Amino acid sequence: MRLARRVEALVPSITLEVAARAKELVSAGRDILSLTLGEPDFATPAHIRTAASQAIERGANRYTPVCGIAELRAAAAADLSAVHGVTIRPEEVMVSTGAKQCLFNALQSLLDDGDEVLLPTPTWPSHAELVRLAGGVAVLCPSTADSGFAIDVELLRRKITPRTRLLMLSSPSNPTGTVIAEATLRQVVELLHDHPQLLVMTDDLYRRLVYAPGRFVSLLALDKALWGRVVLIDGVSKSYAMTGWRIGFCAAPRPLIAAMDKLQGQVTTNAAAVSQHAALAALLGDQAPTAQMVAEFDARRRIMLAALNAIPMVSCVEPLGAFYCFPDVSAYLGGKAPDDVELSRYLLEEASVAVVPGSGFFAPGYLRLSYAASVPLIVEGVRRLAAGLAAVAAAS
Ligand SMILES: Cc1ncc(COP(=O)(O)O)c(C=O)c1O
């Protein structure tokens, strides 16, 4: 069968590939330990589940407005206004099926063929794939561990061309856990002043999962006048253990919301009605479960980071947000494992631990480990990693 070029050109997710192979090995009876999970390993808080059950009983079985139920748009607008220090009206918020659909809607509605998007890396692969799917060109702007993966704003400046339409930021970052520092954001503000044609999209999905001394800083809060050029991507998936409920929010100027309304109206109509009521309870209800989750992630983060940095020739920048560590394992490459993709295969097959290669995030030489796993799993997983690396070194 001949398939459309735009789908043929999509790069499959390495994370899913590793996870699928790990499952195969488990089915074959192997004891595989996976540190690949990109979602909290907690249950959705009880009050959110109750709100969803009540919504079902009340009969939330119909289509909703395309942009979402009014109460949820209002609650998200209030929450985002408080975080970003500007007045965001409910009409400037759209509810979609996960932050992923928000990104899809926004990029499809903004980009024409050949429009360039500045994309600081390492980053989540879907950022680049969704840009390409919309006909855009993802212009990768690498950063390294030496700077703690700080965005190189001078590099962004050099990569701007007459076709540059958009800058994409994501803080905290998947995969590095880096939280963009205020000083860096101030440089970004300057860049935006110098290039008034540029729009900026911020994927803030992990903003509630931040650990001291990290602090989420909003670009908009630094310069309120940027509202009108900023597209905010947000949602409940990661901070309320709601990945499967599929609710995300996009806040943007009205013309973009209207375009996305038109687009989504032809694609999925509305995000699931019951999930919207659950997300409403998440935003308006008790925030203590999220605080507990953050405390638990913080404890696990310290354990994983210390264990990784104790492995000879491995170094890991301290992640201050999200739930990933991103160690540099380049010293182990060559011989048995010429690159990080081969290394992660070797670790899975020979050391029974599943981790994601950094190449999947445009950062060869690194591995991504998720600490959305219990402490015993983290300890045993990193022990297997260390043993696998030692075996690779001995065999090379
Ligand atoms: C940076 C980032 N943005 C967006 C998403 C997608 O979020 P959602 O599950 O709400 O679609 C993910 C999921 O891994 C992510 O890591």
Sheet holding 164-170, edge to edge: 93-96, 248-251, 230-235, 199-203, 164-170, 116-121, 137-142
What pLDDT score was predicted for residue 396? 79
In order, the DSSP letters of 228-282 are TSEEEEEESTTTTT-GGG--EEEE--HHHHHHHHHHHHHHT-SS-HHHHHHHHHH
Bridge partners of 116, per DSSP, are 137, 164
Question: Measured between alpha carbons, how far is 208 from 174 in angstroms, rounded to an integer?
Answer: 14
Question: Measured between alpha carbons, how far is 385 from 352 in angstroms, rounded to an integer?
Answer: 9
- CA-nearest residue for atom 13, ligand 1, is 38
What pLDDT score was predicted for residue 54? 98
What pLDDT score was predicted for residue 11? 86
- CA-nearest residue for atom 1, ligand 1, is 174
- Compute, in angstroms, the gap from residue 8 CA to the centroid of ligand 1: 23
What pLDDT score was predicted for residue 70? 98
In sequence order, what E strands does 20-146 have? 33-34, 93-96, 116-121, 137-142
In order, the DSSP letters of 14-44 are HHHHHHHHHHHHHHTT---EE----S-SSPP
- Of the residues 119, 234, 238, 250, which should be mutated to test ligand 1's pocket, given the most ligand atoms within 8 Å of the CB? 238
Domain segments of the chain as ranges: 5-43+289-395, 46-284
Question: Packing angle between helix 125-133 and helix 98-110, nearest 10 degrees?
Answer: 40
Question: Measured between alpha carbons, how far is 380 from 32 in angstroms, rounded to an integer?
Answer: 11
- Compute, in angstroms, the gap from residue 39 CA to the centroid of ligand 1: 9
What pLDDT score was predicted for residue 271? 98
CA atoms within 13 A on the CB side of 224: 8
The architecture in CATH of the region 46-284 reads 3-Layer(aba) Sandwich (3.40)
**Cβ-based neighbour number of residue 4 at 10 Å:** 7
- CA-nearest residue for atom 14, ligand 1, is 38
> Pairing state of beta strands 116-121 and 137-142?
parallel
pTM of the model: 0.97
CA atoms within 13 A on the CB side of 62: 5
What pLDDT score was predicted for residue 16? 86
Bridge partners of 169, per DSSP, are 202
What is residue 334's three-state secondary structure?
strand
- Compute, in angstroms, the gap from residue 393 CA to the centroid of ligand 1: 35
Decide: 321 in ligand 1 pocket, CB within 6 A: no
Q: Which residues of 252-280 are buried (b: 16+ CB within 10 A; e: fewer)?
A: beeebbebbeebbeeebebbbbbbbbbbb
Candidates 329, 346, 328; CA nearest to 337 is 346
- CA-nearest residue for atom 16, ligand 1, is 174
Decide: 116 in ligand 1 pocket, CB within 6 A: no
Candidates 289, 293, 392; CA nearest to 350 is 392
The tens place of each residue's pLDDT in the chain, 396 residues long, gives 999 999 998 988 888 889 899 999 999 999 999 999 889 999 999 999 999 999 999 999 999 999 999 999 999 999 999 999 999 999 999 999 999 999 999 999 999 999 999 999 999 999 999 999 999 999 999 999 999 999 999 999 999 999 999 999 999 999 999 999 999 999 999 999 999 999 999 999 999 999 999 999 999 999 999 999 999 999 999 999 999 999 999 999 999 999 999 999 999 999 999 999 999 999 999 999 999 999 999 999 999 999 999 999 999 999 999 999 999 999 999 988 999 999 999 999 999 999 999 999 999 999 999 999 999 999 999 999 999 999 999 987
- Compute, in angstroms, the gap from residue 2 CA to the centroid of ligand 1: 30
Whether the CB-CB separation of 196 and 213 falls below 8 Å is answered with: no
Question: Which CATH number among 2.40.50.140, 3.90.1150.10, 3.30.420.40, 1.10.10.10 corresponds to the domain 5-43+289-395?
Answer: 3.90.1150.10
What is residue 58's three-state secondary structure?
helix
What pLDDT score was predicted for residue 334? 92
In order, the DSSP letters of 279-331 are HHHHHHS--HHHHHHHHHHHHHHHHHHHHHHTSTT-B-PPP-BTTEE--B-GG
